[in-house]
């Protein structure tokens, strides 16, 4: 793709930057912020071609908005799972009734979503899903099983769930993509997972006969694998470029710290800093190169391998340039605050998971080996 920003794109950037500069500093709770974004027309950019969304925007303008949002310091999004993952999946695979029901509330910031994919025995190996869904005589499915590492499940109104509807099926056969309401006391339980950062960004979700309507099956019963794989392709689109804006800000802080502590005087540290800068540029060029493509099977895996390892090495480098001070917490210990971390310590600890979540490095390399290079399939037990 010949990628570049036009004069219209830059005018769009000026508008986005001005709006964010005026409103981001006043953002309150995350749900209210989603509604503020929706009311101003910033959710669902580009959906207008499908008859939904708030305003039209070209692909490059969607990149502009994502970059400006990352630069603005605005709060983390609660609605991005619905907007960036479910919505394009519905546009591609959903019925007209499903689009009319679910896209407008996402665009308005009124309904939040979470993703029910990973399970204790099916993380990177998504085809190992064991959560089951049985269709009852009343036309509703009963969903039973457990999902794990479910981001924002404690806030979500809905969950899109990959479940096994054919009990005799194996691997990627017999799976169905279901839209499940989360407000089902006694049938759905959400348990936060405390991480080594001290925070609880992820959750376990237990389904005990949770109800899902038959008309909320996307892609037909048994078509879940095709829909799920399509969704994973959307997961690494425009948002990747916005992610890199955040990476650039983190790298800038690490460089500044290296200068302040004198670590930059070490030639090995200087080489590592330059390498991080160069690799970040390569990631950006690769993302721009693949952004408008029809979706090469190996592109998402290459992107995940690049940024996962890069961010993990940045966390290690951030501690290295701080020296011994990196081992000391930002506040005195107290019973009410036994585990306080500063920004650098949080970066280091959280980035340990970068090469695991979203598909581990080993799985990404297997995908590239088998589906791109045509190497023999890995033996299965």
Q: Catalytic residue numbers?
A: 235
* CA atoms of 191 and 148, how far apart (whole Å): 9
Cα gap 90→105, rounded to integer Å: 13
Three-state DSSP class for residue 143: strand
- Provide the total of helices (H) and of strands (E) in the chain, helices listed first: 12, 8
Looking at residue 24, what DSSP letter applies?
G
Longest dimension (CA), the chain: 72
Number of other CB atoms surrounding residue 24 within 10 Å:
15
Q: How far apart (Å, rounded) are the C-alpha atoms in residues 30 and 23?
A: 13
User: Nearest CA to 45 among 29, 65, 20?
Assistant: 65
Helix 299-322 crosses helix 238-261 at what angle (to 10 degrees)? 20
Residue 205 is given by DSSP the state E
Kindly give the pairing relationship between strand 113-116 and strand 175-181: unpaired
Which tokens belong to 161?
Answer: 């769930």
User: How many CA atoms lie within 13 Å of 326's alpha carbon, on the beta-carbon side?
Assistant: 19
């Amino acid at each position: 793709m010949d990628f570049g920003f036009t004069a219209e794109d830059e005018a769009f950037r000026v508008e986005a930057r001005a709006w964010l500069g005026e409103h981001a500093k006043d953002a309150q709770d995350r749900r209210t912020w989603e509604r503020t974004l929706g009311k101003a027309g910033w959710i669902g950019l580009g959906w207008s071609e499908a008859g939904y969304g708030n305003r039209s925007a070209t692909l490059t303008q969607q990149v502009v908005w994502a970059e400006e949002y990352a630069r603005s310091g605005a709060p983390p999004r609660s609605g991005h799972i619905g907007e960036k993952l479910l919505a394009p999946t519905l546009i591609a695979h959903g019925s007209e009734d499903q689009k009319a029901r679910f896209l407008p509330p996402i665009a308005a910031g009124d309904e939040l979503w979470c993703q029910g994919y990973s399970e204790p025995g099916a993380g990177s190996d998504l085809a190992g899903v064991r959560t089951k869904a049985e269709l009852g005589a009343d036309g509703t499915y009963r969903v039973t099983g457990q999902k794990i590492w479910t981001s924002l499940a404690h806030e979500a109104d809905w969950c899109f769930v990959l479940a096994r509807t054919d009990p005799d099926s194996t691997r990627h056969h017999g799976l169905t993509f279901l839209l499940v309401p989360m407000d089902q006391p006694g049938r759905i339980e959400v348990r936060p997972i405390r991480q080594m950062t001290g925070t609880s960004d992820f959750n376990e979700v237990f389904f005990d006969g949770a109800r899902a309507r038959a008309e909320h099956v996307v892609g037909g019963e048994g078509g879940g694998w095709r829909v799920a794989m399509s969704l994973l392709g959307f997961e690494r689109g425009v948002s990747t470029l916005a992610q890199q804006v955040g990476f650039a800000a983190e790298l800038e802080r690490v460089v500044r710290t290296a200068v302040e502590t004198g670590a930059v005087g070490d030639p090995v540290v200087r080489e590592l800093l330059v390498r991080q800068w160069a690799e970040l540029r390569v990631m950006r060029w690769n993302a721009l190169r693949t952004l408008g493509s029809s979706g090469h099977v190996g592109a998402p895996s290459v992107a995940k391998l690049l940024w996962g390892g890069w961010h993990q090495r940045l966390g290690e480098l951030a501690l290295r340039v701080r020296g011994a001070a990196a081992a000391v917490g930002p506040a005195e210990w107290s019973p009410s605050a036994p585990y306080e971390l500063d920004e650098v310590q949080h970066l280091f600890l959280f980035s340990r998971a970068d090469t695991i979540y979203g598909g581990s490095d080993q799985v990404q390399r297997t995908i590239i080996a088998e589906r791109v290079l045509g190497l023999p399939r890995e033996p299965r037990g």
